[in-house]
Amino acid sequence: MNQKHKENLLSEVYEVVEESRRLVSDVKSVVRERIDHLAGGRLVEMMRGPECTEKFLDDSQPHLREAALRVYKDYWGLDKIGKDRLERIAFEDADDNIRAVALIFLISHFYKGSLDSRIGGRIATTVRDHSRLVELRIAAYQTLYHVNGVSSQNMPRITSATMILT
C-alpha cells in the first residue's frame, strides 16, 4: 500500500469518526429534549442529584415518573435506583407505559442474557395479560428474548395485531 493510499484511508476513517461523534451528539440532544418535554419545569430539580430525582419515581403524574426513570438511565445510572426498585416499577406501576419503560431498562441493564427463570416467568405473565396495553405486552415479549440472550436482530417481528390475537 503506497503512502497516498494510506493517507486517503486515514482521511476516510477520520471522517467516519467525526460523523459518528456528530450522530452521538444528535442522539444525546434528542434524549435531552425528550426528558425536558416529559419533566417540563421540574427537570432542573431532577438534575440536582439522584436523591432529588428519586422522589419523582413516586409522583402521581406518569410523565414525571417517566422523566425520572430516563434521568436515572442517562445521568445517574440505573444502579442508583436498584434492581429491586426498578423491578417493582416494571411490574407494579399503575401506568402501563411506565411499566414498559422500566421493564426495558430493567432487562437491558440487569438481566440481559441472564437466563433468569424467575424474571422470565414474570415477563411471560405480562405478555399473556390481555388486560394490559398492547405496547406493554410487546415490550415484555421483546425483553423476554433479551433475558434469554437473543439479540434484537434475531427476534421475530411482532406487531400490535399479533399481540391482540394471542
Quote the pLDDT of residue 61: 95
Kindly state whether residues 27 and 75 are assigned to the same domain. Answer: yes
The pTM of the full predicted model, rounded to 2 decimals, is 0.78
Kindly state whether residues 8 and 73 are assigned to the same domain. Answer: yes
For residue 92, being part of any structural domain is answered with no
Kindly state whether residues 76 and 1 are assigned to the same domain. Answer: yes
Quote the pLDDT of residue 154: 66
Kindly state whether residues 106 and 75 are assigned to the same domain. Answer: no
Kindly state whether residues 1 and 74 are assigned to the same domain. Answer: yes
Quote the pLDDT of residue 66: 96
Kindly state whether residues 122 and 53 are assigned to the same domain. Answer: no
pLDDT classification of 16: cutoffs 50, 70, 90: confident
Residue 145 scores a pLDDT above 80: yes
Residue 160 scores a pLDDT above 80: no
Kindly state whether residues 69 and 115 are assigned to the same domain. Answer: no
Residue 113 lies in domain: 100-166
Residue 96 near residue 132 (C-beta atoms within 8 A): yes
For residue 75, being part of any structural domain is answered with yes
